[in-house]
Amino acid sequence: QNDLLSATGTTVFTVMSALATQHGAINLGQGFPDYEGPEDVVRAAADALLDSRNQYPPLTGLPELRRAVAEANRRFYGLSVDPEAEVVVTSGATEAITASLMAVLNPGDEVVLLEPLYDIYLPVVKLLGAVPRIVRLSPPKWELPRAELAAAFGPKTKAILLNTPMNPAGKVFTAAELAFIAELCQRHDTYAVCDEVYEHLTFDGWKHIPLMTLPGMRERCMRIGSAGKTFSLTGWKVGYITCDRSLAPNVAKAHQNLTFTTPPNLQRAVAVGLSKDDAYFAGLSESLQERRDFLAAGLAKLGFTLLPCQGSYFITADFTPLGFAGDDVAFCRHLTEVAKVTAVPVSAFYAGADAPRHFIRFAFCKRLEVLEEALRRLSAWK
């Protein structure tokens, strides 16, 4: 058996979802919408299945999806992308992250990671034989500790893995923070793997800025998107990487050795989705913002302290004011078993033993009436 995998626990999302099911709890833990994605996109996938789109598509993705990804880069960020040579379609952002890292890392290379971190980052970096250098953001505002970040870059640094909008923190990196990161990447001649799966889910006027759009970063970034998040279809697992033509052949080879291709009917449907009008993309974040506000107001009324949330599916709550005697894991277990509402302990997103133990993450990508019922249960429990 692989020692690293034996030492890796089952992901917190699976653990908490199973616990929610066991106790009949409302699952505000795992980040998946409890409603369907756009009907035209789903229908396009169904039609493609019946239209003989069932054999291996091209290695780097269906041409129509690569064109749609390139066009979305132009439309949303003004990036000029060659769909033939600078886009690779993958089986979810999960594969895209692994393929991007695999494309540039050799054993012993260092990768800068920001904590709290999404669960797969650390195991994947280690499985590739690379060495993580973790820098911790400071709550409640999740500020970037610039001196520490600069100190984490050195001669062995090959890449930074940056997630904005950030899971679980809900942070959207500012132009100034991105400029600081870009300067470090250039000074140390490193790549940046940019996990931007929540690119279209930002609130209160916050705009997502891809690191790739900053001066000097076009050739260094592998920018990752996910149809799961952009079309509220998380089970689809269609991801896409945009990167410079000098990087794409190696990214494609990593993809070739991981999954080789991605179901063609889903690719065709995602191409339809990416061509939807601006109103669709605006509506996506507006409707999520409304539910974020609803949940946040209810939780605040119950005594939780809410941390800022500028984007993603998630809001973090500090339960200290509730006076619970126990850590975040115990609190989430208690909430599931007694209140019948499930959240995720934020310490699960930390590598070190000295993680904060008073934060829990709620997913608000659920129907309003479900959030309403969750708040009712929480107030009855309190």
Residues that bind ligand PMP (CB under 6 A): 31, 92-94, 118, 163, 167, 195, 197, 226, 228, 234, 237, 239
Closer CB to ligand GLN, residue 27 or residue 262? Answer: 27
Selection from ligand GLN, ligand PMP, none that 163 binds (CB < 5 to 8 A by kind) is: ligand PMP
What sign does the dihedral 206-207-213-219 (CA atoms) show? positive
Q: What are the E-state strand segments in 116-220?
A: 131-136, 157-163, 191-195
Q: Which of 27, 167, 267, 347 binds ligand GLN (CB under 6 A)?
A: 167
How buried is 19 (Cβ within 10 angstroms: 0-12 exposed, 13-18 middle, 19+ buried)?
middle
The binder of 73, among ligand PMP, ligand GLN, none, by C-beta within 5 to 8 A per type, is none
CA distance linking residue 112 with residue 381, whole number of Å: 42
Residue among 258, 315, 275, 219 at smallest CA distance from 94? 258
φ, ψ for residue 186, nearest 5 deg: -75, -40
30 binds, among ligand GLN, ligand PMP, none (CB under 5 to 8 A by kind): ligand GLN
Give least dist CB 18 to ligand GLN, A.
11
Q: Are 100 and 309 in contact (CB under 8 A)?
A: no
Q: Which amino acid is at 182?
A: A
8 near ligand GLN, rule: CB under 6 A: no
Q: Give the DSSP H/E element, type plus range, for residue 95.
A: helix 92-104
Of the pair 190, 262, the CB lying nearest ligand GLN is at 262
> Measured from the CB atom, is 163 or 265 closer to ligand PMP?
163
Task: Give residue number: closest CB to ligand GLN.
Answer: 31
Nearer to ligand GLN, 191 or 364 (CB): 364
Q: Report what 328 binds from ligand GLN, ligand PMP, none; CB cut-off 5-8 Å by kind.
A: none
**What is the smallest separation between the CB atom of 12 and ligand GLN, expressed in angstroms?**
8
Beta carbon of residue 348, minimum distance to ligand PMP (angstroms, whole number): 13
The token pair that represents 253 in the structure block: 């080879």
* Least distance CB 287 / ligand GLN (angstroms): 19
If binding means CB under 6 A, how many residues of this protein chain bind ligand GLN?
5
Q: Shortest gap between Cβ of 192 and ligand PMP (angstroms)?
A: 15
Task: Considering the complex, state which of residue 234 and residue 342 has its C-beta at the smaller distance from ligand PMP.
Answer: 234
Taking only Cα atoms into account, the Rg of the chain, rounded to an integer number of angstroms, comes to 20
Q: Which of residues 73-132 bind ligand GLN (CB under 6 A)?
A: none
Whether residue 230 contacts residue 273, with contact meaning beta carbons closer than 8 Å, is answered with yes
Q: Which residues pair with 115 in a beta bridge?
A: 136
Tell me: does residue 31 bind ligand GLN (CB under 6 A). yes
Tell me, letter by letter, the H, E, C secondary structure of 291-305: HHHHHHHHHHHCCCE
Answer whether 127's CB lies under 8 Å from 175's CB: no
Query: What is the rounded distance in angstroms from the CA atom of residue 366 to the CA atom of residue 341?
Result: 13
At its nearest, how many Å lie between ligand PMP and the CB of residue 64? 19
Cis peptide before 215 (omega within 30 of 0): no
Q: HSE, CB side, 13 Å, CA atoms: give it for residue 153.
A: 20
State the binding partner of 11 from ligand PMP, ligand GLN, none, CB within 5 to 8 A by kind: ligand GLN
- Put the strands of the sheet holding 359-363 in their side by side order: 305-306, 314-318, 359-363, 344-345
Any contact of residue 164 with ligand GLN (CB under 6 A)? no
Q: Considering only residues 25, 26, 30, 72, which one is a binding residue for ligand GLN as defined by CB under 6 A?
A: 30
Which one of ligand PMP, ligand GLN, none is in contact with 90 (Cβ closer than 5 to 8 A by kind)?
none
Residues in contact with ligand GLN by CB under 6 A are 11, 13, 30-31, 167
